Amino acid sequence: HVYTDYFFNESAYDYHDGGYVPLEKHDAPESKLNIPEVLKPDKVDGNDVWYTVEAQTGETQILPGEKTKTWGYNQSLLGKTIIYEDGKNYHVTLKNSLPELTTYHWHGLDVPGPYIDGGCHAPVYPGEAKEIEFPVHQPAATTWLHAHPCPLTGWDVWHGLACAVVVKDQHEATLPLPRNYGVDDIPVILQDRRFDEHNQWNYDDDYDPDGTEGPTALINGTVNPYFDVTTQKLRLRFLDGSNRREWRLHLSDDMVMTQIASDGGLLPEPVYLTKLMMTCAERTEVVLDFGKYKPGDEVTLYSDDTPILKFKIHEFAKDNTEIPDHLADMDYPDPDKDSLVHQVVMSGTDEEVEFNGKKFGMMRIDDRQELGKSEYWDITNTNDCCGGMIHPYHSHGGQFMVVSRNGEAPYPNERGYKDTIGVNAGETVRVKMKFNHPGIFMYHCHIIEHEDGGMMAQLQVYTKDDPYKKYKLMDMKTL
Ligand code: C2O
Ligand code: CU
Ligand code: CU
C-alpha cells in the first residue's frame, strides 16, 4: 500500500498563520549538496571514545559573493556528523569559542538530565570547555545536537548550531539497508533563511514570536543543492532543523519514498508514501529506489511547490536487495492500569503561548515521574486562536510511543519510537513514556520561538531512594 496524501490535517498547517513566509526558489546557481564530514574521535580506548565538540563562529560561502557570518560545531556552519555506537561509553568535551554562553543539547539521546542532556541548566560560558561522560544505549537512529540556552535557542540554532548525530547498533547493521555515509546514506537537514543584500542573516529582523522563517530553503547549509546519485538506492536522513517551518516533502513523478525510521529508530515495518510532512525537530529516514531511472535523469524533491534538492542520476550497479517487511521489534512497556495520566496543554500564539496555563519557569519543577515506570502523557493543542497551528511537542529524556490521536490510531509512520510529535489544532495526542535516567528534563513545543517564549515546562524523573533530590538549576537572572 502506498499512502498518497499527508497524514496531518491541512486546516492546521502553520501556513494559515499570519506570519507565514512561503518558500521561494532563490536565484543563486545550483551547487553540490554539502555533506558534513564525520567527526573524528580524539581518542579511542576499548569501549571508550573521546570527542571534542567546539561551538565556533565563522564565515561560510553559501551564495556567490559575500560570505555569510555563521556559527557551527567544529566548522563554520552546522556541524560534523557525530556517530555513536550503542554500547559504547563517550567522553565529550564541549568547548565554547562563541562570544556568548551556549548549551549542547542531545536531542533524542537517552542520557541523564539536566547537565549531560544539555538543556538550559548546562551552560558552557565563552572560552570554557567542559567534559561530559555518558554511555549510549539505544537503538540505531538519527538524533541531533543543537544549542539550547533558554531563551536564546532560536537565536543559536538560526546562526547554525545544529548537526546530525547518528546512532548505530548491531541489529540495524544486519538489515539490507544503505549505510555507506556520504554515498548512499546522507543527512538532509532542512532549514530556511532569509539572505539580505550582503548575503547575511538577520535574526532580529526576521524574528516572529510564532517561529522565525525565511523564504530560502537551506539544505545541509546549501542553497539550490544537487546530489550525485551513484547507487540505485539512497537513504535520506531527514531532520527538520528549522526554527518553525513544516516541510511537506514530495518528489517528481510522485516517486515513492520508503520510510524506514522515525525519531528514535527503525519503524516496525516500512511505510510507503509519496507525501511526507515533517514538523520541527522530527527525523525520518527514507529509502529512494532509482531503479527506473537512467544516467542523465533528474529527480527533484519539493516542499509544497518549491524545489529544494535535485538528484542527478549517474551510472549505478543494479541493486536487487529488498527492504524487509519487518524492520524492528518495538519493546515498550504499557503503563499500569491505575497510573496517573500527565497532562500537557499547549495554548496561545505569538507572545501569548503557554504550557498548562503558564510560561516556563527555570526554577520550577512542573511534573514528576518515577524512573523506569511507563506512564501516559496526554498532549493537547487547544487551537484557541486564528485557525490554530500545529505544535510539535518534544520531550527530553528519551523516546515515547504514540498511543492515539484524539482516540484514533496514530499515523502509519509514527508507530516507532518518537521524541517529537506534531499535534494538530484541537487534538489530544496520547503517548506513553518511560524515562531511563533520573534528572530534570524539559518538554516543550519545538517551534523554537514558542519554546523560547515560554511554551515549555520541566519534570523531575526521580528514584524511590531520593525522590526530592536537589539539582542546581539555572535562574534566568543568573545567565
Ligand atoms: Cu530539540 Cu529541548 O530540544
Ligand atoms: Cu530535546
Ligand atoms: Cu508551538
Map residue 446 onto helix, strand or coil.
coil
Using the atom order of ligand 1, give the atom closest to the CA of residue 442. 2
The last residue of one of the domains, among 104, 137, 172, is: 172
Using the atom order of ligand 1, give the atom closest to the CA of residue 456. 2
Together in a domain, 258 and 296: yes
Q: What share of the chain is helix, strand, coil (3-state, %, to 5)?
A: 10, 40, 50
Q: How far is CA 277 from CA 90, 111, 274, in A?
A: 33, 28, 10
Residue 9: count other Cβ atoms within 10 Å of its Cβ: 14
CB 209, CB 453: distance < 8 Å: yes
Using the atom order of ligand 1, give the atom closest to the CA of residue 119. 2
Query: Quick one: pLDDT at residue 16?
Result: 87
**Can you tell me the distance from the alpha carbon of 230 to that of 317, in angstroms, rounded to the nearest whole number?**
8
Query: Quick one: pLDDT at residue 120?
Result: 94
Query: Quick one: pLDDT at residue 385?
Result: 66
Nearest CA to ligand 1 atom 3: 107
The last residue of one of the domains, among 139, 155, 172, is: 172
Q: How far is CA 264 from CA 9, 41, 55, 317, 429, in A?
A: 24, 24, 25, 31, 18
**Phi, psi at residue 456, to the nearest 5°?**
-160, 155
Together in a domain, 159 and 256: no
DSSP one-letter code for 80: P
Query: Quick one: pLDDT at residue 386?
Result: 67
Q: Which grid cell sits at 195?
A: 539572505
Give the ligand whose atoms come closest to the C-alpha of residue 240.
Answer: 1
Query: Quick one: pLDDT at residue 11?
Result: 86
Together in a domain, 40 and 110: yes
In a domain, 50, yes or no: yes
Question: What is the greatest pairwise CA distance in the chain?
Answer: 65
Q: Which grid cell sits at 292?
A: 527506473
Burial of 153 (0-12, 13-18, 19+ CB in 10 A): buried
Nearest CA to ligand 1 atom 1: 107
Give the ligand whose atoms come closest to the C-alpha of residue 349.
Answer: 3
In a domain, 322, yes or no: no
465: domain CATH number is 2.60.40.420
Together in a domain, 206 and 125: no
**In one letter, which amino acid is 394?**
H
| Full domain range(s) for residue 34 | 28-172
CA quadruple 172, 175, 179, 180: dihedral, nearest 10: 130
Together in a domain, 164 and 181: no
Q: Which residues line ligand 1 (CB under 6 A)?
A: 105, 107, 119, 146, 148, 281, 394, 396, 442, 444, 446
CB 284, CB 238: distance < 8 Å: yes
Map residue 108 onto helix, strand or coil.
coil
Together in a domain, 363 and 469: yes
Query: Quick one: pLDDT at residue 125?
Result: 97
Burial of 477 (0-12, 13-18, 19+ CB in 10 A): exposed
In a domain, 334, yes or no: no
**Can you tell me the distance from the alpha carbon of 299 to that of 235, in angstroms, rounded to the nearest whole number?**
15
Span from the CA of 445 to the centroid of ligand 3 (angstroms)? 5
Together in a domain, 146 and 196: no
The 8 Å CB, 24+ separation contacts for 298-302 are 298/252, 299/229, 299/251, 299/252, 299/253, 299/255, 300/251, 300/252, 301/249, 301/250, 301/251, 302/249, 302/250, 302/251, 302/252
The last residue of one of the domains, among 172, 203, 234, is: 172
Together in a domain, 224 and 307: yes
Contacts of 320 (CB under 8 A, 6+ apart): none
User: How many domains, in total, are found in the chain?
Assistant: 3
pLDDT tens across the length of the chain (479 residues): 999 999 998 888 989 888 899 999 999 999 999 999 999 999 999 999 999 999 999 999 999 999 999 999 999 999 999 999 999 999 999 999 999 999 999 999 999 999 999 999 999 999 999 999 999 999 999 999 999 999 999 999 999 999 999 999 999 999 999 999 999 999 999 999 999 999 999 999 999 999 999 999 999 999 999 999 999 999 999 999 999 999 999 999 999 999 999 999 999 999 999 999 999 999 999 999 999 999 999 999 999 999 999 999 999 999 999 999 999 999 999 999 998 899 999 999 899 999 999 999 999 999 999 999 999 999 999 976 666 899 999 999 999 999 999 999 999 999 999 999 999 999 999 999 999 999 999 999 999 999 999 999 999 999 999 999 999 998 866 55
Span from the CA of 387 to the centroid of ligand 3 (angstroms)? 13
Span from the CA of 451 to the centroid of ligand 3 (angstroms)? 7
Q: Which grid cell sits at 300?
A: 527533484
Give the ligand whose atoms come closest to the C-alpha of residue 110.
Answer: 2
Together in a domain, 441 and 383: yes
Together in a domain, 208 and 106: no
B/e letters for 311-326, b = 16+ CB within 10 Å, e = fewer, are bbbeebeeeeeebeee
Bridge partners for 95 per DSSP? 54, 129
In a domain, 330, yes or no: no
In a domain, 331, yes or no: no
Together in a domain, 84 and 161: yes
Span from the CA of 473 to the centroid of ligand 2 (angstroms)? 17
In a domain, 65, yes or no: yes
Map residue 153 onto helix, strand or coil.
helix
Using the atom order of ligand 1, give the atom closest to the CA of residue 107. 1
265-273 vs 298-303, strand pairing mode: unpaired
Together in a domain, 125 and 207: no
